[in-house]
């Protein structure tokens, strides 16, 4: 019996400090996660700014954003213009369903629909990949260029003018 009591004492002697140590360790890790919240918020701001810089490569941030020389080159060499022209009615139907009531929201919806073009029109994926390769651009660049082209093409049919993007959102 003495051996069993000794073994129990050893197990308890080792177990309790181990449990306390593990609890402290876990508490410190959770505290570190709480300290990361402000970093996550700052990362979101940086991500937004990087996105703006990326868009500026093909369409500088003037209001309204228009294609620059590189953007126009992608529009022609990638075939996105022809894709948008052929899918215009389908895309316009998706855009209308989202119900934008002002030019700002309409532009955001159009760019979003274009960014999701492979899901809306899976039959164009190979053309998009080939076009991106031929123009030396990424798929995201090609879709952004296509989005700006689609915006300019469809704004009148949606009852807006591209120039209205300059006006403050009411």
- pLDDT tens across 43-95, in order? 666 666 666 666 666 676 666 788 889 999 999 999 999 999 999 999 999 99
Q: Is residue 124 classed exposed, middle or buried when 0-12, 13-18 and 19+ CB atoms within 10 A define those classes?
A: buried
CA distance 26 to 49: 35
120 contacts 94 by C-beta, under 8 angstroms: yes
Question: What residues does each domain of the chain span?
Answer: 2-35, 68-166
138 sits in the region (left: phi over 0; alpha: psi -120 to 50; else beta) called beta
136 sits in the region (left: phi over 0; alpha: psi -120 to 50; else beta) called left
**Stated pTM of the model:** 0.66
Long-range contacts of 104-107 (CB under 8 A, 24+ apart): 104/165, 104/169, 105/169, 106/151, 106/155, 106/158, 106/160, 107/64, 107/151, 107/165
Q: pLDDT at position 18, please?
A: 74
Tell me the pLDDT tens digit for each residue of 145-156: 999 999 999 999
- Residue 97, pLDDT > 70, answer yes
- Of 95, 103, 139, whose CA–CA distance to 120 is shortest? 95
Q: In the chain, pLDDT over 90 holds for what percent of residues?
A: 48
Long-range contacts of 104-111 (CB under 8 A, 24+ apart): 104/165, 104/169, 105/169, 106/151, 106/155, 106/158, 106/160, 107/64, 107/151, 107/165, 110/147, 110/150, 110/151, 110/154, 111/144, 111/147, 111/148, 111/151
Structure tokens at 13: 């002697």
């Amino acid at each position: 019996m003495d051996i069993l009591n000794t073994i129990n004492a050893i197990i308890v002697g080792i177990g309790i400090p181990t449990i306390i140590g593990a609890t402290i360790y876990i508490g410190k890790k959770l505290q570190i996660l709480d300290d990361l919240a402000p970093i996550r918020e700052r990362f979101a701001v940086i991500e937004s700014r990087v996105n703006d810089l990326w868009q500026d490569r093909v369409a500088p941030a003037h209001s309204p954003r228009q294609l620059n020389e590189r953007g126009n080159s992608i529009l022609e060499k990638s075939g996105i213009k022809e894709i948008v022209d052929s899918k215009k009615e389908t895309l316009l139907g998706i855009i209308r369903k989202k119900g934008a009531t002002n030019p700002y929201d309409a532009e955001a919806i159009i760019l979003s629909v274009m960014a999701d073009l492979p899901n809306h029109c899976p039959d164009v994926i190979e053309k998009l990949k080939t076009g991106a390769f031929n123009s030396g651009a990424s798929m995201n660049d090609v879709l952004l260029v296509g989005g700006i082209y689609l915006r300019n093409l469809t704004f009148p049919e949606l009852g807006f003018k591209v120039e209205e993007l300059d006006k403050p959102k009411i």
